[in-house]
Every structure is written in C-alpha cells, then in structure tokens.
C-alpha cells in the first residue's frame, strides 16, 4: 500500500494516537503524518503510507487553513482553552470590529513567532512541553512564518458576566505557524490577555475537509475492500514544486544518482525539482552544495520502474 490519505482527526486524540489506530486498521506499520494537531483541535491530518512517507517533509511546505475563535480577557499556560489561567483582566468593551480588523491585518506577511512552551519544538534535545510540564520556562528560538490572510469571520461577542470578548477568524498560513501564539499576540496588540478558545484545521498539504475521512470511515472502506479508492498518489504532495518529465536516457542517469547540469533543469531562482518518468515521480534533485553548475539527488522516490 502506497500513497496519501487525508484523515479527519477528531477531538480528544493526539496525532500520534490517530496514526497508531490507522496502522491497525490498514495493517501496515509504515505510516506518518504531516503536521501535528493538538488533542483539542480537530481537522485535516494528511497521512502518508508506504513509500509516500518519503514526501512528508514536502507536504509540510504547503499552506494551511484554520478557522477558530479568539477570546480576550484572560490568558492560559497553553495559549488555548485547555490550559490553566495565568492572567485575567476585564476586557475593554470599547474594542470594536474596526480595532480587531486593523489588528489582524497587521499580522499579514512574514512575521516572527516564539514557539509556546507547550509545543513539540526541541531545545537541547528535549521537547518544550517536557520542560513546561516540569514548570520550567526556557529561552526558545524565534522563527519567521508567513501569514497569507487573517480575517474576522463573525460579529464580536461581549460577555459582560465573564468580562470577555470573543470573535471567530480564518487564517491562511505557511508551515511552522502557531495559531495559538497568533491569538496571544493579537491580544497583546489590543492590550488584553487572550487565548485561542477554539480551532479547526480546514485544509493542509493540498487536502481539505471535504476530502478527509474519519478513522471509522476508513475502517468501513477496509471492510468493503475499497480503501485503495480513497488513497491519493504521492505525486499530489509534490504538485507545488517545479517538475520535469524525463526521457528514457535521462531516467537512467537519474536512477543511477548521476549529477546533472543545473542550467538545463533548474531556473535561476529554484533550488529543487521533481523528476517524473512516465508521469510517476522518481526523484527530487537539489542544487549541489559545492559544485554550483550541478544538481544532485535529494530524495529517491522510485527506482523500480522499467525503462
């Protein structure tokens, strides 16, 4: 079995739980996922099976779409609704839709984020959440992420009893973005402690929620011996990359891992290219680190095709 399967991860399970259960359903061990979802978050979890696990890192490069809710008035340890409250401050009810819309627009483009302590980022060989569970707060490296759009999608809801303010949003972002941190940073600009009070991933790695299947739906397809119908070819994960269809002579060179002339295959601003043979992706080549006139294999995907 080989290919990509978009799973709809339901709330209450980790991404690892999802993969573990899928291995049992499909009776195969070689399965990996693209982009972790927190237990309280539901949404599209693209899964790679068999040889398709080789393209997971390229799946992560694609845009992601989230919908959710931000609540102003208090912040939490985890930056979402699952954490303990760390700061409370009655919200300024004079904050209106225009204030929020202007603030959200300021996040569009390339921004710098610091990963939350409750995240899977590794520092000194340990996950940040491991430090956080011990009550430790450590320095962590900031990184640049891209926000393509960030918009309010509902009216502002003012809760006078709880002294909070909430609104729904939709964000389209690049890899590595922490939406929880976006929620906190939005509050900071509005001078209010805040957190992400709800989140759903609507799309990831070229898959949307309409294409995603729950684990129970996958089980039904397996029982009906129709699961192959739901699996997408690994090529779908590479569709956003530059590509080139090889002839039989070129394919033999690629199959043997030969260096190729950069100027023949790569445009000046490109660093990687996917080589296809008979419409099947066979290898990904990248610029040679020391020989600027050549490109070299970065990943061999298939080498068993018959010329």
**Same domain flag for 142 and 182:** yes
CATH number at residue 222: 3.30.2350.10
Averaged pLDDT, 105-128:
80
Give the pLDDT confidence of 134-191 residue by residue, as tens digits: 777 777 778 899 999 999 999 999 999 999 999 999 999 998 898 999 999 999 999 9
Per the domain annotation, does 29 fall within a domain? yes
Percentage of the residues of the chain whose pLDDT score is greater than 70 = 97
Tell me the longest C-alpha to C-alpha distance in the chain: 73
Q: State the pLDDT at residue 106.
A: 97
Q: State the pLDDT at residue 119.
A: 63
**Same domain flag for 180 and 277:** no
Q: State the pLDDT at residue 307.
A: 60
Q: State the pLDDT at residue 134.
A: 75
Weakest mean pLDDT among 18-27, 91-100, 188-197, 298-307: 298-307
**Same domain flag for 129 and 246:** no
Q: State the pLDDT at residue 121.
A: 67
Q: Does the pLDDT at position 248 exceed 80? A: yes
**Same domain flag for 129 and 222:** no
Per the domain annotation, does 306 fall within a domain? no
Structure tokens at 251: 């394919």
Which of the listed residues 149, 184, 203 is the one where a domain comes to its end? 203
**Same domain flag for 94 and 195:** yes
Burial of 300 per CB tally in 10 Å (0-12, 13-18, 19+): middle
Mean pLDDT across the chain, nearest whole number? 91
**Same domain flag for 124 and 49:** no
When divided into structural domains, the chain yields a total of: 3
CATH number at residue 259: 2.30.130.10
**Same domain flag for 248 and 129:** no
Catalytic annotation, pick one of 17, 38, 40, 223:
38
* DSSP per position, the chain: --EEEEEEEPTTS-HHHHHHHHHHHHT-S-EEESS---TT-EEEEEEEEGGGGGGHHHHTTS-EEEEEEEEESEEETTSBTTSPEEEE----TT--HHHHHHHHHTT-EEEEE---SSS--EETTEEHHHHHHTT-------EEEEEEEEEE-S--EEETTTTEEEEEEEEEE-TT--HHHHHHHHHHHTTS-EEEEEEEEEEETTEETTT-B-HHHHHHHHHTT-GGGGPBPGGGGGTTS-EEE--HHHHHHHHTT--EEHHHH--TT--EEEEEETTEEEEEEEE-SS-TTEEEEEEE-------
Q: State the pLDDT at residue 297.
A: 96
**Same domain flag for 51 and 104:** no
**Same domain flag for 71 and 180:** yes
Kindly indicate the confidence band of residue 263, based on its pLDDT and cuts at 50, 70 and 90.
very high
Q: Compute CA distances 119 → 127, 237, 246, 292, 295, whole Å.
A: 7, 25, 42, 38, 36
Q: State the pLDDT at residue 16.
A: 92
**Same domain flag for 7 and 106:** no
Q: State the pLDDT at residue 135.
A: 76
Per the domain annotation, does 307 fall within a domain? no
CB 143 within 8 A of CB 155: no
Shortest CA distance to 231 belongs to which of 35, 18, 14, 31?
Answer: 31
Give the pLDDT confidence of 195-245 residue by residue, as tens digits: 999 999 999 998 999 999 999 999 999 999 999 999 999 999 998 899 999
Per the domain annotation, does 260 fall within a domain? yes
Interior angle at CA 33, CA 135 and CA 304, nearest 5: 145
Per the domain annotation, does 122 fall within a domain? yes
Shortest CA distance to 181 belongs to which of 90, 106, 78?
Answer: 78
**Same domain flag for 209 and 265:** no
Averaged pLDDT, 107-123:
79
Kindly indicate the confidence band of residue 128, based on its pLDDT and cuts at 50, 70 and 90.
low
Kindly indicate the confidence band of residue 88, based on its pLDDT and cuts at 50, 70 and 90.
very high
Per the domain annotation, does 247 fall within a domain? yes
Per the domain annotation, does 280 fall within a domain? yes
**Same domain flag for 276 and 226:** no
Q: Does the pLDDT at position 117 exceed 70? A: no
| Domain coverage including residue 274 | 242-300
Give the pLDDT confidence of 38-68 residue by residue, as tens digits: 899 999 999 999 999 999 988 887 889 999 9
Q: State the pLDDT at residue 34.
A: 87
38 is catalytic: yes
Per the domain annotation, does 211 fall within a domain? yes
Shortest CA distance to 93 belongs to which of 46, 15, 157, 150?
Answer: 157
């Amino acid at each position: 079995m080989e290919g990509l399967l978009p799973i709809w991860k339901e709330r209450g399970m980790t991404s690892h739980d999802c993969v573990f259960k899928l291995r049992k359903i499909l009776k195969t061990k070689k399965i990996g996922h693209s982009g972790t979802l927190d237990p309280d978050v539901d949404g599209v979890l693209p899964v790679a099976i068999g040889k398709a696990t080789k393209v997971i890192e390229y799946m992560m490069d694609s845009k992601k779409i989230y919908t959710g809710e931000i609540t102003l008035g208090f912040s939490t340890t985890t930056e979402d609704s699952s954490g303990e409250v760390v700061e409370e401050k009655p919200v300024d009810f004079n904050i209106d839709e225009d204030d929020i819309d202007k603030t959200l627009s300021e996040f569009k483009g390339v921004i710098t984020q610091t990963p939350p302590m409750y995240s899977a980022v590794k520092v000194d060989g340990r996950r940040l959440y491991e430090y956080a569970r011990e009550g430790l707060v450590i320095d962590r490296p900031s990184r640049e992420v891209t926000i393509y759009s960030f918009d309010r999608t509902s009216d502002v809801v003012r809760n006078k009893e709880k002294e909070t303010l909430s609104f729904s949003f939709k964000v389209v972002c690049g890899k590595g973005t922490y939406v929880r941190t976006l929620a906190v940073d939005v509050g900071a600009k509005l001078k209010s402690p805040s957190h992400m009070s709800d989140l759903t991933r609507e799309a990831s790695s070229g898959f949307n929620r309409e294409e995603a299947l729950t684990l129970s739906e996958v089980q039904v397809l397996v029982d009906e011996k129709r699961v192959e119908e739901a699996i997408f070819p690994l090529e779908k994960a590479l569709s956003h990359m530059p590509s080139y269809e090889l002839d039989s002579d070129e394919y033999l060179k690629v199959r043997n891992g030969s260096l190729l002339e950069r100027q023949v295959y790569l445009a000046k601003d490109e660093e990687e290219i996917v080589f296809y043979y008979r419409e099947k992706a066979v290898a990904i080549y990248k610029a040679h680190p020391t020989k600027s006139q050549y490109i070299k294999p970065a990943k061999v995907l298939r080498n068993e095709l018959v010329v």
